[in-house]
Amino acid sequence: MRILIEGLAQACGYELECMAKLFFQAERMPGEKVEGGCPEVPEEFLYANGELLERKAEENRYRLMVRLRILDRGSGELADSSAEREVSCPEETVQKTFEFHLGKMTYDLLGKATGIKPPWGILTGVRPVKLVQRCLSQGMGEEETAAYFRDRYVSQEKIALAMETARCQRPILERVTPRSYSLYISIPFCPSRCSYCSFVSHSIEKAAKLVEPYVELLCRELEVIARLAEELSLELASVYMGGGTPTTLSARQMERVTDTISRCFPLDRALEYTIEAGRPDTIDREKLEVMRAAGVNRISINPQTLNDQVLAAVGRRHSSQDVLDAIDMARQVGFDNINCDLIAGLSGETPESFRDSLDRLIQDGPENITVHTLSVKRAARLRQEGDYLEAVHNPAAPMVEYAQKALGKGGYHPYYLYRQRDTLGNLENTGYCKPGREGYYNVYIMEEAQTILAAGAGATTKLKDPFSTYIERVFNYKYPYEYIERFADILDRKGQVRGFYERIFNT
Ligand code: SF4
């Protein structure tokens, strides 16, 4: 489906394109935007035209009109409708006000044409809780902040979720100092590729030769980062090793990395040290003992579902019992802060089987349970060869709703939340935890609250100006083979970190 945008609507072309995607299933997603209309009307299109019908500038009043046409091959002509609205605003905010109201009018028309009510309303951003935090820090009270979200058509349930999440984050965000940072370490290898995954992880079978040189260079990069952080007087807040699946490394390779971290970074001052153990088929007692001895105090063991048929269908080579056994083993080794991820909407999952997974997990009692909604990105195997249509039509909403209620009853509260593109039902991912077990790194990265210094392939360093919202990014090469071949470039780019902090602190 092509999206044709004319007139005033061009001013909010990008927003309009993102918003249109809220109303269409991924297989008919509007793409290929054409601004200024199209001489040849394509077979399938979404057309939006915005006009200023009347202007009474001396009274600061304007009358706007939006016309919307949708031609969809599947459903025929879905809409040819229009809406008008009078708005008033001072001259200096005309553009913003027009964009906002044109967006809302288009949203209303799309909603009427499709019968869909996106739970996050016109919000298309990844970080709705950051928006709550911004409203509150600008002096808006909770009621005023809720009204701001209502005005953007966010549902009452999602407003409540975002507000509660924001409240839980406050004490964690208050610990951020101008020089604090978190360290991220990327291990981009997995035992096999899950069907829904678009991550740049390499299956260990195909990439076995790369692991050893990768670990060596990763340790060198960590040494350089540690020296830089010390010279710039940066303060380590948290450490997070993710991927991929870090426990794809052997116990000896894991020890090599954790030893480097212990030797180079002041771990005694860090609030948290997490390793994403990820898949139970990569976890054994020896690796858990290595991590524990290194001071790791939080791990993730991610079932995604406890439905064995679904696990097999998405390409996981382990059973639900393996997950529960791995959690048990981690407890025996001494881990008392464990996270488990679940995914709502996996192909073959039903609301009942999801409920069963969640209930069993709550009974097992990990300190964190993170509920993701399935997001099938372009690069995922499922999108190319799997039963994609079945996947995108799986209703995740009842699963997500159940999770919110059941976890609340089970003594968990939400503490971080984010949205992704191409997520079923435009739903969110939410991290829940028992009181006092919030994952610091998750909050810092999602709220973009502090600098993240990142090491490894595919990792991105995010330099956060503590006195503004400005963020500068330094990218590492995406794939392990590039990272290994062009490692000298990676080290060269560290100069950007030094330059950034010297500018910020005028040193
Ligand atoms: S374990 Fe995670 S990162 Fe690895 S393939 Fe599966 S979803 Fe992707």
Q: Which of 18-27, 139-148, 258-267, 371-380 has the lowest mean pLDDT?
A: 18-27
d(CA 78, CA 357): 39
Pick the more confident residue, 4 or 248. 248
* Phi, psi (rounded to 5 degrees) for 497: -65, -45
Residue 352 CB partners (closer than 8 Å, separation 6+): none
Q: Which of 40-44, 260-264, 373-377 has the lowest mean pLDDT?
A: 40-44
Task: Work out the widest C-alpha separation in the chain, in whole angstroms.
Answer: 76
Pocket mutation for ligand 1, best pick of 194, 283, 316, 478 (most atoms within 8 Å of C-beta): 194
Query: How many A from CA of 436 to the centre of ligand 1?
Result: 28
d(CA 56, CA 88): 9
Q: For the whole model, what pTM was predicted?
A: 0.91
d(CA 235, CA 434): 27
pLDDT tens per residue across span 187-223: 999 988 888 887 666 677 778 899 999 999 999 999 9
Helix (H, G, I), strand (E, B) or coil at 307: coil
Average pLDDT for residues 56-71, to the nearest whole number? 88
Q: Is 389 a residue whose pLDDT tops 60?
A: no
Average pLDDT for residues 370-374, to the nearest whole number? 95
Model pLDDT, residue 200: 60
Residue 480 CB partners (closer than 8 Å, separation 6+): 188, 189, 202, 207, 210, 214, 457
Model pLDDT, residue 39: 55
d(CA 186, CA 293): 20
Query: How many A from CA of 32 to the centre of ligand 1?
Result: 30
Given the CA of residue 196, which atom of ligand 1 is nearest to it?
7
d(CA 443, CA 274): 13
Q: Where are the domains of the chain?
A: 2-116, 127-174
Q: Is beta strand 45-56 parallel, antiparallel or unpaired with respect to 61-72?
A: antiparallel
pLDDT tens per residue across span 115-153: 888 999 999 889 999 999 999 999 999 999 999 999 999
Could you tell me which CATH class the domain 2-116 is placed in? alpha beta
Query: How many A from CA of 191 to the centre of ligand 1?
Result: 8
Given the CA of residue 243, which atom of ligand 1 is nearest to it?
3
Average pLDDT for residues 239-257, to the nearest whole number? 96
Model pLDDT, residue 381: 61
Model pLDDT, residue 285: 97
Helix (H, G, I), strand (E, B) or coil at 82: strand
**Residue type (1 letter), 507:** T
d(CA 359, CA 427): 21
Given the CA of residue 316, which atom of ligand 1 is nearest to it?
6
Pick the more confident residue, 106 or 289. 289
Helix (H, G, I), strand (E, B) or coil at 204: helix
Helix (H, G, I), strand (E, B) or coil at 468: coil
d(CA 78, CA 74): 10
Model pLDDT, residue 214: 97
Residue closest by Cα to atom 3 of ligand 1: 244
Residue closest by Cα to atom 8 of ligand 1: 197
Given the CA of residue 197, which atom of ligand 1 is nearest to it?
8
Pick the more confident residue, 313 or 496. 496
**What Å distances lie between residue 409 and 336, 339, 371, 434, CA to CA?**
21, 18, 15, 11
User: Confidence band (pLDDT; 50, 70, 90) for 383?
Assistant: low
d(CA 199, CA 506): 38
Residue closest by Cα to atom 6 of ligand 1: 194
Extract long-range pairs of 24-32: CB within 8 Å, 24+ residues apart. Answer: 24/114, 25/392, 25/393, 26/376, 26/392, 26/422, 27/388, 27/389, 27/392, 28/1, 28/72, 28/73, 28/74, 29/1, 30/1, 30/2, 30/3, 31/1, 31/2, 31/3, 32/2, 32/3
Tokens of 241: 């090793």
Highest mean pLDDT range out of 37-41, 56-60, 85-89?
Answer: 85-89
Residue closest by Cα to atom 5 of ligand 1: 193
Residue 386 CB partners (closer than 8 Å, separation 6+): 195, 347
Given the CA of residue 190, which atom of ligand 1 is nearest to it?
4
Q: Is 267 a residue whose pLDDT tops 80?
A: yes
> Which residues share a beta bridge with 165?
none
Protein residues whose CB sits closer than 6 Å to any atom of ligand 1:
190, 193-194, 197, 199, 201, 243-245, 278-279
pLDDT tens per residue across span 430-464: 999 999 999 999 999 999 999 999 999 999 999 99
- DSSP annotation of 127 reads -
Residue closest by Cα to atom 2 of ligand 1: 244
d(CA 205, CA 98): 54
Name the average pLDDT for the chain.
90
**Residue type (1 letter), 150:** R
Tokens of 253: 């390779």
Model pLDDT, residue 59: 84
Interhelix angle 251-264/285-293, nearest 10 degrees:
10
Pocket mutation for ligand 1, best pick of 192, 193, 200, 374 (most atoms within 8 Å of C-beta): 193
| Integer Rg of the chain from CA | 24
Query: How many A from CA of 207 to the centre of ligand 1?
Result: 15
Query: Dihedral sign, CA of 380, 383, 388, 392?
Result: positive
Q: Which of 41-50, 280-289, 413-422 has the lowest mean pLDDT?
A: 41-50
Residue closest by Cα to atom 7 of ligand 1: 197
Given the CA of residue 278, which atom of ligand 1 is nearest to it?
1
Q: Is 233 a residue whose pLDDT tops 80?
A: yes
User: Confidence band (pLDDT; 50, 70, 90) for 38?
Assistant: low
Given the CA of residue 304, which atom of ligand 1 is nearest to it?
7
pLDDT tens per residue across span 393-443: 568 999 999 999 999 999 999 999 999 877 888 899 999 999 999 999 999
Model pLDDT, residue 290: 98
